[in-house]
Structure 1
C-alpha cells in the first residue's frame, strides 16, 4: 500500500478539535486596556529601587549587517550579534526594551553598514531615545577574507570573529574598543628541540582586544586587517583554506622554521600592537588545542600604554 492510500484511510478530527485535545482553551474575557496610552507602564515607575544599575538592556540579538573590508571581499553581508545597554539610576524601575530593537530596525531600513562612525551615532541616538546619559552597543560578526596558497596562489575564504564596542556618555564622550579572534598554526619549540626528527604542532586561537585612540580614522586603516596581521605574522604558519601539495610543503617547512610557544605568541603580538600609534591599551591571549595532550595551553597579556 502506498503513502497516499495510507493517509487517505486515516480520519483526523478538525484542526480546532485537535488543538482542544492538546490543551487549547477558549479565550477568556478581556478587561484590560488595549490602547498604549491607557496601559500601565511598569518600567517607568519612579521611586527608590535600592541600587543604581550599571547596565540594563538586551543581548544575543542577531541581525543582518553590511561591513567593509580592505581585503577581498571588500563589501560583505553578514550576521551581527548585538548587545545593547545603558545604565539606570535607582529611581527608575527599568528600561523600555522595545526602544533598542526599534532603533536597530530603523538603521536596518536605512542600510545598516557597520563602521565605527555609524556605531558612534547609533549609540548617542540610543541614549537620547532611552532618555539616559549613556548607552553602549557591542556587535560581533564573522569577517571573511581571501587567502591564497603560498605556492599555487589558489584562493579560498578564511574568517575571523570581529567585535566592535562603542560606549557613549554625554559628559565624557566615546570609548571605542575592537577585538578580533583569529586562527593560527603553532609548532612546539620543545618538541623540535628534544626530538631526533619532526615536531608536533597545533591550531591556536589568538584573541586581541584594543582600545583605540580618539583620533583613529577607520577610512585610513582597516583595524580588522591590522589585528589579523599582528596575529598571523607572528605565528609558526598561517591557516589556509586551499592547499595543494607544494603549498602544504611550504607551510609545513615554514612552521618548522618558526617554532612558537603560546608565551611567544602573546609577547610577539603584543609587540606589534604596542607599535601601532592608534592603540592605547590592549589584551592578547593565545589558546592552543594541543595535539599530544588532552588539555589546551593558554597565555595572556594586558598592557596600557597610557600608564607609561
Structure 2
C-alpha cells in the first residue's frame, strides 16, 4: 500500500515535528534570573591541580588589519584562541567573557595589531579575574605582487598569526608567525643532469619571538618575514605571469638552486641579523615533483642563550 502523502495533503508543521520526535515542553522549576542560578564555574574548593590554560578556540570573526604593502587596509577573517590559567581552588572559567570582549572590541572599531592585542590581554585578565591571559589569532594576509617583466599585478596571500601572553607582573610575551610558499629548484638535479632540473613548491613557516620594545608602527613584521623567505628562495611565487615573466622566473630559479637545508639556514641568517627578533623557528617543506613524499628541514635558535 502506498502511504506517501500527496503534496497538498501534508500534515501540519506541528504534526510533522511530533512525527519526528518533538514532545511538549516539560515543567520549568529552575530559576530564569541569573542572580538566582547556581554558578558551578565559580565554585571554590580544592580541585587538585592548577590548570595552565582554559579557554575557547576556533572562534572565527571578521578583523581589520594594516599592511605596509598594497592593500594597506584590509578586512579578513581571524581565527581566535583565548585562554587563561586557573588556580587549584577554582573549578572553571567564564567562557562567555572571551567572546563578549571580542565583540566589544569589534564594535569599537578594533584593528588587529600587536599593541591592540596587548591591551586586549590586559583587559581580558581583569575581566576573567585571573592572574594571566592569552590570545592567538590566525588570519590570511593579502598582498599585491607584480610580475617581474610586464609588471602585471595580482593578489598573493600568506597565513599569519599573532600570539600574545600577559601575566600579572605586567609582562607581555609576543610571538608572531608567517607561512607562505616559494619556488625551489633542486641543486642535485641541476648538478647531475645534462640539462634542466626539477622544481618544487616550498612551504615556508617562520615563527619568531619579538623583543618587548618592538615598534609595529615603524616596522611591518609580516613584510619582514615574507622577505626573509622569498629573497632566499630560488624564485618567488607570482599570481600573474606572461611569457616574458615566465622566462625570467624560470631562469632565476635555475640560477639559485636550493635544498630545504639551504632554505632554513639562509632564512635563519636573515632573522638572526634582525635585532627585534630574540628567538626564531624556521621550517621548509618541499612538495617534491619527482617523489610522492615531501622533503623537510627546520631550525630553532634563541639568541638570548648564545
TM-fit CA distance, 1:9: 5.1
Question: Partner of 2:92 in structure 1?
Answer: 94
Question: Partner of 2:76 in structure 1?
Answer: 78
> Among 12, 15, 18, which residue is 1:20 paired with?
18
SS at match of 2:26: coil
Question: Partner of 2:290 in structure 1?
Answer: 292
SS at match of 1:237: coil
Partners of 2:234 and 2:22 lie apart in 1 by: 62
Structure 2's unaligned 5+ residue stretches are none
Report 1:129-140 matches (<5 A). Answer: 129-140=127-138
Question: Which TM-score applies when normalising by structure 1?
Answer: 0.97
SS at match of 2:245: helix
TM-fit CA distance, 1:170: 1.4
Question: Partner of 2:281 in structure 1?
Answer: 283
Question: Partner of 2:231 in structure 1?
Answer: 233
> Among 54, 58, 61, which residue is 2:59 paired with?
61
> Among 147, 152, 167, which residue is 1:154 paired with?
152
Question: Partner of 1:205 in structure 2?
Answer: 203
Question: Partner of 2:305 in structure 1?
Answer: 307
TM-fit CA distance, 1:111: 1.1
Partners of 2:7 and 2:34 lie apart in 1 by: 51
Report 1:128-207 matches (<5 A). Answer: 128-171=126-169, 173-207=171-205
Question: Partner of 1:267 in structure 2?
Answer: 265
SS at match of 2:9: coil
Question: Partner of 1:243 in structure 2?
Answer: 241
Question: Which TM-score applies when normalising by structure 2?
Answer: 0.97
SS at match of 2:151: coil
Structure 1's unaligned 5+ residue stretches are 1-6
Partners of 1:23 and 1:198 lie apart in 2 by: 67
Question: Partner of 1:105 in structure 2?
Answer: 103
Partners of 1:232 and 1:223 lie apart in 2 by: 14
Partners of 1:17 and 1:112 lie apart in 2 by: 48
SS at match of 1:123: helix
Bigger shift: 164-173 or 200-209? 164-173
Partners of 1:172 and 1:35 lie apart in 2 by: 37
Question: Partner of 2:218 in structure 1?
Answer: 220
Residue deviations 1:204-259 (CA, integer Å, cap 9, x gap): 11000000001110010000000000000000000000000111111011000000
Q: CA RMSD in A?
A: 1.0
